[in-house]
A and B are shown apart, each in its own frame.
Chain A
Amino acid sequence: MDRTVRIRQFIEDRFLVEFGGEVTDGTDLFKAGVMDSFGYIQLMGFLEEEFSIGVTDEEILTDVFVSLEAIDAFVARKLAGPGAGQGDASCAG
């Protein structure tokens, strides 16, 4: 399944929203009342496990995790860059 679709589906199932209506890919999910602390931890766990990526202490302190768009872009960068899954590591550099 496509990366974006997987993330979107997780958020829709967990947070009872549907993207495309009042919640869009760019919506701040905190401000929209979609995400809370428990959900945020679930989402981070999902991303790390599902895409075998590790999020560093520095990355977690930036604000990339507030919208679907930003989350998706971050995962895409991680998968493409160094330190991601093994397949990615071989083509980095």
Chain B
Amino acid sequence: MRIVVAEDLYLLRDGMIRLLAAYGHEVVATATTGPETLDALLKWRPDVSVVDVRMPPTQSDEGLKAALAARREVPGLPVLILSQHVEQLYARELLADGAGGVGYLLKESVFDADQFADALERVARGGTAMDPAVITKLLSSGSSNRRLDGLTEREHAVLALMAEGLSNQAIGQRLFLSESAISKYTTTMFDKLGINNDDHHNRRVQAVLTYLNKA
């Protein structure tokens, strides 16, 4: 895959390039500031990009802003945001356009390189990769708690993995269950919650998040 890497810290940028090379990807451009990131994304239109949130010149959320701006220009441009911290607020902003091809992970998710590579490919294919930390926050906040009261523990676990962006097959592997069992869980779960069941990964994440967002 052709990849753009936007990260201002040399060590992390270098490490990321080596990691991606090890998985046979090509880093076509790197960026170290917000404006550079936006330019690189629009110029190269990469298969997927890895973007840090906090970058110069303001050391605020320059990377996130550049990614959102690029996706406004090119809807669905695959972007994987990496950050030292995850916020529901940012996750919601990234998912708001409903176009898919979005990832939002903690930087340490690269510790498990295989899973990271999976997430990257998922995003490149137009799917979603949300960090478990942000999903946990999402599912445990006040309004969600009450809404999810009716779910069993297993259904709750399936819902969380689904919100991360995993397919039924991948959820099955994580929970050591068959794919058909998972699809049975999702059907009853969606019935309970009143969400429209849809096999498309990203649409499923959207459905879950829209449901949780409802006031």
Task: Note whether A and B form a binding pair.
Answer: no
